[in-house]
Amino acid sequence: MEKSNSKIVAVAALVVAVIALSVGFAALSATLNISNDANVTVHPANTFEANINYFGNATCTPSSEHVTVESAGTASGKNWSGIVVKLQEPGDYVTCEATVKNQSTFDGFLKSITADSDIGCAVASTDGASSEKVTEVCGDMEMTVGVGTNGTENVTPKITNSAHVGLSGITTNNSIAKENGTHKVKVTVTYKTPGILADDDIQVTLPGIELSYNTEN
């Protein structure tokens, strides 16, 4: 009987030790549930933010044969940058398009269009125009950005090599439907007429374009 009691005590002690180990490791490992701050109300924009982005590839169309598109840039997230074109004479222009898609479950509203810098210019070849001439010619380069159903509804003031005021406080023609609604973003860069004629092709680098959307108009 005494031996039987000892065995029961031994098995019970083992069970208790095993449970204590398991409870202890469970308590001290990082496997417990936590709650968020119960009083913080999350604005739907936080869930909306991740799901309205540039979608697909950007494309550019030159106005004539002697106009070259070196890069249509990369349109991803909320930023489109890296557009580089070569223009030869006044009247030349390039039109680039990209698409923004709203894959969230909330309707969105375009609120602002921002260019992150001025237009930049460089001479296309080493024995081309002088830097002073390039700067002079660059002053005749103008860029606009339009965003909307057709890409023509909300158009920024002209962006040049000395100014890049965007468009903000947009309240009309700016809605983008939830669950795969789209906006077209149209960028046009023009070699102004009348304008100074460059001795050579001018490589024009356009600023990056960032869009801001909200769930409230």
From residue 44, give the alpha-carbon distance in Å to each of 38, 54, 107, 111, 169: 16, 20, 11, 16, 20
Instruction: Report in angstroms how near the CB of residue 211 gets to another protein at its nearest.
Output: 16
Q: Which stretch binds another protein (CB under 8 A): 3-11, 108-116, 133-141, 209-217?
A: 3-11
Q: Where are the beta strands (DSSP E) in the chain?
A: 52-62, 68-76, 79-87, 93-102, 108-115, 120-123, 141-148, 154-155, 167-168, 175-176, 181-191, 202-205, 209-214
Q: Minimum distance from CB of 214 to another protein (Å)? A: 17
Residue in 25, 66, 168, 173 binding another protein, rule: CB under 8 A:
25
Rounded to whole angstroms, the Cα distance separating 32 from 23 reads: 12
Window of 24-32, 64-72, 108-116, 131-139 that interacts with another protein by CB under 8 A: 24-32
- Work out whether 214 is an interface residue with another protein (CB under 8 A): no
Task: Write out the binding residues for another protein, residues 48-87 only, by CB under 8 A.
Answer: 50-51, 53, 55
- CB nearer to another protein: give 21 or 163: 21
CB of 6 to another protein, least distance (A): 11
Q: Does 5 bind another protein (CB under 8 A)?
A: no
6 — phi, psi (to 5°)? -60, -40
Angle at 109 between CA 105 and CA 111, to 5 degrees: 140
- For another protein, the binding residues (CB under 8 A) are 4, 7, 11, 14-15, 17-19, 21-36, 38-42, 46-47, 50-51, 53, 55, 103-105
